[in-house]
Chains A and B, each alone.
Chain A
Amino acid sequence: MAIVNLENVTYKYPLTDSPALQNINLRVDEGEFVAVVGPNGAGKSTLCYTIAGFVPHFFKGELTGTVEVAGAESSTSSLHEWVLNVGLAFQNPFNQISGAKYTVFEEIAFGLENIGVPRDEMKVRVEEAMKLTGISDLADRSPYSLSGGQQQRVALTSILVMQPKVLVLDEPTSQMDPIGTREVFGVIRTMAERGMTVVMAEHKVEWIANFADRVVALHEGRILLDGKPREVLTSDILLDKGFGISRYTSVARKAKTRGLWTRQQLPVTLEEAAEGFQDV
């Protein structure tokens, strides 16, 4: 069952001439983990905002085609109802702190207060969500006093606690150091394992190869490829279009021309590369 369904979606930001998304057709099944890759300006963020309802409700502009999530249509829904189904987290963890709360616990409860969840249920849900993302020990800290990785986990928890049907993540680790990146991907892995439907724009291809069920490659607002992670991430097409590519893939591709890589499938991660080179 497709929970997210985009049909012939074309979108232009206000005051711009060329569309940021063109003729996008994308179906995501319940429980599927779809990664979106693409060079700068390809439209990854725009696609995320579209699924999350901010395009067109927040950004205005012209949208044609249909965007459906969990049976509802974006153009006929209001944003504040839409966000109950789709959660969104993005790059900058600092800017995702609401500013309206003094402790992490209150920060995570903020969304539940807004949508009118009763107090007792609220406390239970916040505690469970914090346990799930491993930030229970931060409950009484100020969100402003945390590291980037911790702040991003608080942002993710703040969304997860609202129990959305689909989670949209726009490069959640792009401003993290390696430790922060590992922390945040840890949370995302937990989500994936629990069967959450996730759409994630991301350029760290090695992580994608480990997580994603499917990879969509965007280029200049169009879907270029859509398929199994290893097929898409090692495709020759990505090479000349300026996509970020795993260095292991590049090395193996060179090696293959000299017969030093014998497998059919090029590697994405270090482990795959290591195994493949052992064959030789």
Chain B
Amino acid sequence: MEVISQNAVYFAVVLVIMALLFVWAYLTGRMQKEFSTMTWVLIPVAIAINLTIGQIVLVLKLPVYLDSIGTVLVGVICGPWAGALTGALSNIIAGIILAPDWFPWFPVAAVIGATAGVMANIGYFKTWWKVVVTGFVIAIMATIVGTPISIIIFGGISASGSSLITAFLLETGRSLLASVLTTNFISEPLDKIATSLLAFAIIDGLSTRYLSRFPRGENATVEKGQKQTELIIALVVVVLLILFGVYILPSITGG
């Protein structure tokens, strides 16, 4: 808890900014617009997709989590606030009924949904390379929010596999903050880019008619042109990323 008192200013600033954003979005009605009946019905399905795919991936022992595909999907087609709510609820519900160590990460999950929503709003969810950029930005945001949580709640070492990287870096004499940040920068982009591309593949498989029912369905209209090729390229990128994770990461980290 010393960390909290030492960085009180940091936390105060973050909380104030969030409160201001919230009030602004509420007063301008931007937030309410994201929550149509379609959104309320989609959120439970998205949470179920998060947790179910996350579980399958765990069983398959892939080097990624892929537990926020639904969150990104809601962020893109409904909006950032809806995405944030989906992410937060996803981790809170999972934390209570499935896997206790998920609970403290709910702010990270919320930021993932919100970032996906903001990126989609500025048009960065329409072609595969833009989606890769979005995935990367999501990873950076997740790192910024996740690092303090990792340090405060878990002292830098949690129950996730990437903590082994942190442990290795700490062993080489780096500081706690540097080690956790580095770990997240190594492991997050892979996961978040793959997640975003898979969400993109799902959106690509849904009809425009269906997507247009959601508050931000137009964010997801895949730019016309080589839709097929793009999808294939996107999938290839996912496979390459996963290959990178399987074969390259362990050798970098000496494990």
Contacts and interface: CB of A to CB of B under 8 A. Distances in A.
Nearest to A99: B44
Contacts of B212: 14-15, 60
B contact patch SS: helix
A14 B221 CA distance: 15
Contacts of A15: 208-209, 212
A234 B196 CA distance: 56
Contacts, number: 8
Contacts of B44: 99
Interface in A179-216: none
A104 to B, nearest CB: 20
A13 B209 CA distance: 9
A102 to B, nearest CB: 15
Contacts of A99: 44
A192 B209 CA distance: 36
Interface in A47-103: 60, 99
Nearest to B207: A15
Contacts of B208: 15
A111 to B, nearest CB: 14
A99 B40 CA distance: 12
Contacts of A60: 212
Contacts of B209: 13-15
Nearest to A13: B209
Interface in B185-216: 208-209, 212
B129 to A, nearest CB: 26
A62 to B, nearest CB: 14
A13 B212 CA distance: 11
A41 to B, nearest CB: 14
A134 B209 CA distance: 38
A60 B212 CA distance: 10
Nearest to B38: A58
B206 to A, nearest CB: 14
B86 to A, nearest CB: 16
A13 B207 CA distance: 14
Nearest to B40: A100
A14 B211 CA distance: 12
A54 B235 CA distance: 38
A45 to B, nearest CB: 14
A168 B152 CA distance: 57
Interface of B: 44, 208-209, 212
8 contacts: A13-B209, A14-B209, A14-B212, A15-B208, A15-B209, A15-B212, A60-B212, A99-B44
Given A13-B209, A15-B208, A60-B212, 5 more contacts: A14-B209, A14-B212, A15-B209, A15-B212, A99-B44
